[in-house]
Structure 1
Amino acid sequence: MALSWYLCLAMALFFGPGTGTIHGLAPENEVTLHPTTWLSENRVTPVHLPKGRTRRLYFTLKKKADLLSVTVSPCAVPIEWSLAVRTLKDKPPKKAHWSSKKSMPEVWWRGSGREVRIYTYTGNAVDTYTGPAYTAASIYILRLKSNQQDTQVSAYLHEGPGPSGAFPELPSDPRVHTLGVGMTSVTLNWAPSSSVVVKDGHRPHHEYCVLVNHKHNYRSLCAAREGIRKEIQSVKKRQRRDKQSKEIVWASLKDWWWRQPDALENRESSTTDKFEDPGCVCRDIESVCTVSDLLPDKQYYFDVFVVDRVNGTSVAYTGTFARTHEEARPAVTSLRESQVKWVTLSGDASSLQGDQFRFKPRGWQQNGLLTLQTCNNTSKVKVTVSSKARTLTSQEVGHQLAQIWLHGAPSYLIQLQALAPASSSTIPKGDSSKSKFCLKMQASSAYHRRAVPVFPATLQIKSFNKLRTCNSVTLAWIGTEERSLYCVYRRQIPLGSKHTSTDRCIDPESRPANERVLCKYFQELNPRRAVTTAVIGELEPGMLYVFDVYLMRRWGLPIKYHSKTVRTRSEC
């Protein structure tokens, strides 16, 4: 039964009426392999371009149209686009039997005619072709192609003279100019666009938007959004790779400067030029903008876009770039070998850099000992030692003498920054002397040691009441297991005076020679028995004396013990 049916069908095809071929059935059953896309007039048409494939859009003009303009807005990558026209010598039949199943471009291709390419462009900028219309019996073909990657473009058709009004207009000078550059800010200006106008006091639907980034300038707002989308995707990949590196991830996002940072998280991944929320700094109708919160000594790229909020289109000015000024670096003072340096620091919070010194140890071992001592009871100083831009140590120095061992570098940068005391709020604003901190510092090359010298167990001085006489007192203090020189100084206090202690920053060399009583060497390998004594004679009866003991060292500042006040006996 089935075989007889196929046989009848074959005979009907060979012996049918007319020309009697299979072409008689073709017009009624053929469909187009590529669906036709028409480009509508006065409407922004988004087009997706697969990599390496040519997309075609067709349109015809009205009979009365004498001019036409086609605008193509690429996104992230350069594209190739061309405009061609195909003109028929004879008009196609309006009521052909096969035309009901054919698309309009196929009607032109079946007829006689020729195709002429009238415009081509390659690039990533918004470009417009404007020219005269051809004969009414013409079809226009807009070909679009991306050779680098999949991308998105927008196309717009306008018939007749005058501007289309869909895209904002750029001025005759479309460049962004730099008015001023600072350490953390850049001021820009540009020629106003004729599209940004205020009518009847109403807010215009055009505005300027400014984008700043570290990488390069953008030719369109769509390209900027695509760049931001890729940047956020790379940040999320790094977040998944290392969840513990949040600070590093968000630091990379500072390559972009935005007025509305919250908009980044909720941004859609659409790469079309349809305007939803620019995310960047939008200035309304102002053509001057100061970009703040920039980093010093960094190069930034600045782009300005004119955005039409109603039509969802935008055009870009020719961007510019500028490098912010570097921070004012404080002078670096050279610190000589074993030089005692007196430093006065300001406790003002605005003094962020502090004072800087450079020390180069002698000898091939490149070792040194840094000794610091503050001269204010309530002051603290932050000491940061670095070498070749790498921080070696950072610590706070209070009222105790501090020693920092330097090793492993040919040169050291020492930075001192005063830390305001807790009672600084009680200091009157006009009293600047109380906000000054005094610091004594010395750096010495240490050839014979691989560790910092040890301190005595205590810096207290003890006097023995039973050994006190009318003209002598007996003192005792704890030394160290190292052989060192100890010098004793005395000072008589006038009657009625309350000053009974000696400034701990006063060097022994700064005191009068007649105040020095004796100097002696002492060493005890057992720290528990490292106690030495001295009998100070030639004193006056019933007088008050202040005694000071200094541990004299070859390396570093001398260590001063706490002052001891003793009154001699009046009657013996």
Structure 2
Amino acid sequence: MTLYLCFCLAMALFSGPGAILALAPENEVPLHPTTWLGENKVTPVHLPKGRTRRLYFTLKKRADLMSVTVSPCAVPIEWSLAVRTLKDKPPKKPHWSSKKSMPEVWWRGSAREVRIYSYTGNDVDTYTGPVYAPASIYILRLKSNEQNTKVSAYIHEGPGPSGAFPELPSDPKVHILGVGMTSVTLSWSPSSSVVVKDGHHGSLPYHEYCVLVNHKHNYQSLCAAREGIRKERQNVQKRERREKPGKEIVWATLKDWWWQQPDALEDHASSLWDNPEDPGCVCRDVESVCTVSDLLPETQYYFDVFVVDRVNGTNAAYTGTFARTHKEARQAVTSLREGQVKWVTLSGDASSQKGEQLFRFKPRGWQQNGLLTLHTCNGTSKVKVTISSKGQVLSSEEVGHQLAQIWLHGGPSYRLQIQALVQSSSSSSISKGDSNKSKFCLKMQASSAYHRRAAPVFPATLQIKSFNKLRTCNSITIAWMGTEERSLYCVYRRQIPPDAKDIRHSSTDRCLDPEARPANERVLCKYFQELNPRRAVTTAVIGGLDPGVVYVFDVYLMRRWGLPIKYHSKMVRTRNEC
């Protein structure tokens, strides 16, 4: 018989620990210490996948009611509550050794086990029921079939709430007060557990609210949210290791997670929140309204609110909600007609929507070429012009006080972005009260360029020259540079009144079109062309003037494409005596 027992033991040892457990009966008491749950204490429990954890507790107080609260983390679990009672009281002097522990007395005695409750899911669940006989052992069985996880268990004896877990209001839903393009305003009913700790010098409250926003789904508990964040960080780190060294990794996923982290939970979550992102909205203490900002337009977000007990390290989740932010306000795009002269006024604040304008132009003809001409009317203002077609930027340049022309080619239609450039404070400061200086004015024209391969050329200089020797009492002679292209030049004159206080600022507005000037100011119009640019000089003798009078002369280069080019004004006084 001894040899047979030794043989059986050897087979069990060689078969591994699973065989030893299989030989042990269900009601056999393990040699390892039994896990006991303490009353009024939150006990964290680790659950390996597919294995049942058993926890035991007894009730010492004489009460009629008891409650057991189990809080899962990230995955659904199965848990049940059973009670094991003796049919008969154990003898005072049992026939077995007195060194046996109390669980062994129950298991080896004539005890019976009754299952009183069971639950499957991932919500925080509480069983409340009557207390069995004082000489009873309660068995809490926990099991996770999906993955390794952790739960929290809490035992409370007596009527009324335990006070360990925060209480949710009768309306536990998170409500949306308003939705914007980059922000959402939330509200929720206050929890009756939220009280402020008595004290001074900035003492912290017992409870507070935490707000969480993410792209995926709502969470049932704070623990589940932490697990989700931990997995996201692990995924980002894996992607970072796969990327090339030195390549910048954007933590876009982690930026979508934010809340106010309670100090009481820092010990449990320090590994997850070493470098928390800037929350953008902070729900302080007991405030039950929060505006979540820094969101992306036209994006769906899920919002969760948790009321947290800072002392016990527990929390309760409100019923989360979701919302989709509004679309981004797209700036209006104005279509330019063929040859239309468009006056554009821009605000000096380039960051505002009024600081830029968008236009669309589609040239005529199969060549699909065009010419964009711009002329700023402010003396010191600058604008930035960006030309794009089919989402691709073709050109971008700054336009100052000089007239500019941009050749359009390479696309069937063009998108024109005109943006004001803010001057630095060193060059010229713009006062807030002066609305005229804070606006930029320019005129532009877009036209189809038929049978052309480039933009028209400018004159070598826009200065007008007068000849003193050819100046008389009733006539003067002026000259200006032309181009090698045949173009029309028109001369205008304007008389300065004798009582003018300051004739130095009598130049004609450079944005003033010749069509806007009185007909009696036009002196002559002539065509001119010279193939040699160095010799492209033309002159005009202006007669019918009065002696000793100051005149301002303007020359306009009239072109088929683009805006007229205005030369710099020339001021000449006729002779008094001849």
Pairwise same-fold verdict (TM > 0.5): yes
Q: How far apart are 1:113 and its partner, in Å? A: 5.5
Any residues of structure 2 matched to 1:453-492 within 5 Å, and which? 453-469=456-472, 472-492=475-495
In structure 1, how many angstroms separate the alpha carbons of the residues matched to 2:392 and 2:112?
73
> In structure 2, do the counterparts of structure 1 residues 530 and 254 end up closer, same or farther at CA, with 3 Å as the change threshold?
farther
Alignment of 1:300-315 (within 5 A): 300-315=301-316
Q: 1:102 to 1:386 in 2, by over 3 A?
A: farther
Out of 527, 531, 543, the residue aligned to residue 538 of structure 1 is 543
Query: Contact 1:517/1:536 (CA < 8 Å) preserved in 2?
Result: no
* Structure 1 CA distance for aligned equivalents of residues 449 and 246 of structure 2: 41
Q: Does 1:402 pair with 2:404?
A: yes
Match of 2:525 in 1: 518
In the alignment, which of 362, 371, 374 is matched to residue 372 of structure 1?
374
Mapped partners of 2:282, 2:175: distance in 1 = 17
Q: How many residues align?
A: 541
Deviation at 1:176, TM superposition (A): 1.6
After superposition, residues 150-549 of structure 1 pair within 5 angstroms as 150-198=148-196, 204-236=205-237, 241=243, 249=250, 253-258=254-259, 268-269=270-271, 281-326=282-327, 328-348=329-349, 351-354=352-355, 356-363=357-364, 365-385=367-387, 394-422=396-424, 429-449=432-452, 451-469=454-472, 472-495=475-498, 497=500, 498=503, 499-514=505-520, 515-524=522-531, 527=533, 529=534, 531-540=536-545, 541-549=547-555
Displacement of 1:168: 1.0
Residues in 2 aligned to 1:523 and 1:133: alpha-carbon distance in whole angstroms? 113
Distance 1:479 1:91 in 2: 123
Distance 1:425 1:270 in 2: 51
CA contact (8 A) 2:348 2:355 kept: no
Q: CA deviation at 1:219?
A: 1.6
Counterpart residue identity of residue 508, structure 2: T
SS at match of 2:353: coil
Q: CA deviation at 1:480?
A: 4.1
Change (3 A) 1:324 1:485: same
Q: Which runs of 5+ in 2 are unaligned?
A: 8-22, 274-278
RMSD value, Cα: 4.2
Q: Is the 8 A contact 1:345 1:354 kept in 2?
A: yes
Q: Please report the TM-score for the alignment, with normalisation by the length of structure 2.
A: 0.78
The alpha carbon displacement at 1:377 in A equals: 0.3
Equivalent residue, structure 2, for 1:18: none
| Pair 344,198 (structure 1): closer, same or farther in 2 beyond 3 Å | closer
1:123 maps onto 2:124 in alignment: no
Once the two structures are superposed, residues 401-447 of structure 1 have per-residue CA deviations (whole angstroms, 9 ceiling, x without a partner) of 23334445554443444344457986665443333322102122334
- 1:531 Cα deviation from its structure 2 partner: 2.1
Deviations 1:137-162 (A, max 9, x none): 55433333334433222121223322
Moved more, 479-488 or 213-222: 479-488
Question: In 2, are the aligned partners of 1:480 and 1:530 still within 8 Å (CA)?
Answer: no
Q: 8 Å contact 1:297–1:325 — kept in the other structure?
A: yes
Structure 1 residues 519 and 86, CA, compared in 2 at 3 Å: closer, same or farther? farther
Offset of residue 382 of structure 1: 3.7
Cα distance in 1 for partners of 2:406, 2:357 equals 16
Q: Quick one: which amino acid aligns to residue 519 of structure 1?
A: K
Between 40-49 and 423-432, the greater mean CA deviation after superposition: 423-432
State the distance in 2 between where 1:456 and 1:158 align. Answer: 95
When residues 569 and 270 of structure 1 are mapped into structure 2, their CA distance, relative to the original with a 3 A threshold, is closer
Q: Do the aligned partners of residues 462 and 13 (structure 1) sit closer, same or farther apart at CA in structure 2, a change above 3 Å counting? A: closer
Over 3 Å counting, the alpha-carbon distance change for 1:249 and 1:13 in structure 2 is closer
Change (3 A) 1:473 1:267: farther
Alpha-carbon distance change, 231 to 523 in structure 1, aligned in 2, over 3 angstroms: farther
Residue 190 (structure 1) shift: 1.9
Q: CA deviation at 1:108?
A: 5.3
- Alpha-carbon spacing, 1:118–1:493, altered in 2? closer, same or farther (3 Å): same
Q: Please list the CA deviations of residues 105-162 of structure 1 after superposition, one character each: whole Å capped at 9, or x if unmatched.
A: x765666655544333333322212222344555433333334433222121223322
- Please give the alpha-carbon distance, in whole angstroms, between the structure 2 residues aligned to 1:283 and 1:102: 51
Q: Quickly say closer, same or farther: Cα 1:47–1:200, change in 2 above 3 A.
A: closer
Give the 3-state SS of the residue equivalent to 2:437 in structure 1. helix
Alpha carbons of structure 1 residues 503 and 63: separation in structure 2 relative to 1, 3 Å:
closer
Quick one: structure 1 residues 53 and 258, their matched pair in 2 at CA, closer, same or farther if it must change by over 3 Å? same
- For the pair 1:556 / 2:562, whether they are aligned, the reply is yes
TM-score, reference length from structure 1: 0.79
Distance 2:390 2:86 in 1: 77
Write the letter of the residue equivalent to 2:214.
N
Q: Deviations over 1:272-297 (max 9, x none)?
A: xxxxxx99834322323344454554
- Could you tell me how far apart the structure 2 residues matched to 1:366 and 1:565 are? 43
- Cα pair distance change 1:133/1:259, threshold 3 Å: closer
Distance in 2 (CA, whole Å) between partners of 1:194 and 1:554 is: 79
Q: Provide, for residues 228-262 of structure 1, a one-character-per-residue CA deviation record: whole Å limited to 9, x for no partner.
A: 3334444555556367665x725554423456899
Tell me: CA distance 1:219–1:483, structure 2 relative to 1, closer, same or farther (3 Å): farther
Asked if 1 retains the 8 angstrom alpha-carbon contact of 2:281 and 2:290, the reply is no
CA, structure 1 residues 476+48, in 2 after alignment: closer, same or farther (shift >3 Å)? farther
Aligned equivalents of 1:107, 1:548: Cα separation in 2: 118
Q: Is the 8 A contact 1:78 1:146 kept in 2?
A: yes
In percent, how many aligned pairs have the same letter?
76
User: In the TM superposition, what is the alpha-carbon distance from 1:329 to its structure 2 partner?
Assistant: 4.7
**Are the aligned partners of 2:530 and 2:536 in contact in 1 as well (CA < 8 Å)?**
no
* Cross-structure match for 1:22: none
- More displaced stretch, 505-514 vs 474-483: 474-483
In the aligned structure 1, how far is the partner of 2:435 from the partner of 2:388? 31
Instruction: Rate the CA distance shift 1:112–1:369 in 2: closer, same or farther, 3 A.
Output: farther
Q: Tell whether the 8 Å contact from 1:83 to 1:119 is kept in structure 2 after alignment.
A: yes
2:39 matched residue in structure 1: 41
When residues 416 and 473 of structure 1 are mapped into structure 2, their CA distance, relative to the original with a 3 A threshold, is same
For residues 409 and 354 of structure 2, the distance between their equivalents in structure 1, rounded to whole angstroms, comes to 24
Change (3 A) 1:221 1:395: farther
Answer yes or no: is the 8 Å Cα contact 2:303–2:322 preserved in 1: yes
2:550–2:571 Cα contact (<8 Å) kept: yes
Cα distance between partner residues in 2 of 1:258 and 1:425: 45
In the aligned structure 1, how far is the partner of 2:382 from the partner of 2:168? 59
Q: Cα 1:521–1:425, aligned 2, differ >3 Å: closer, same or farther? A: closer
SS of the aligned residue for 2:224 comes to: helix
State the distance in 1 between where 2:54 and 2:442 align: 79
Q: Is the 8 A contact 2:37 2:56 kept in 1?
A: yes
Provide the rounded CA distance (Å) in 2 between the counterparts of 1:138 and 1:567.
121
Contact 2:196 2:207 in 1 (8 A): no
Q: Quick one: distance in 1 between partners of 2:146 and 2:378?
A: 68
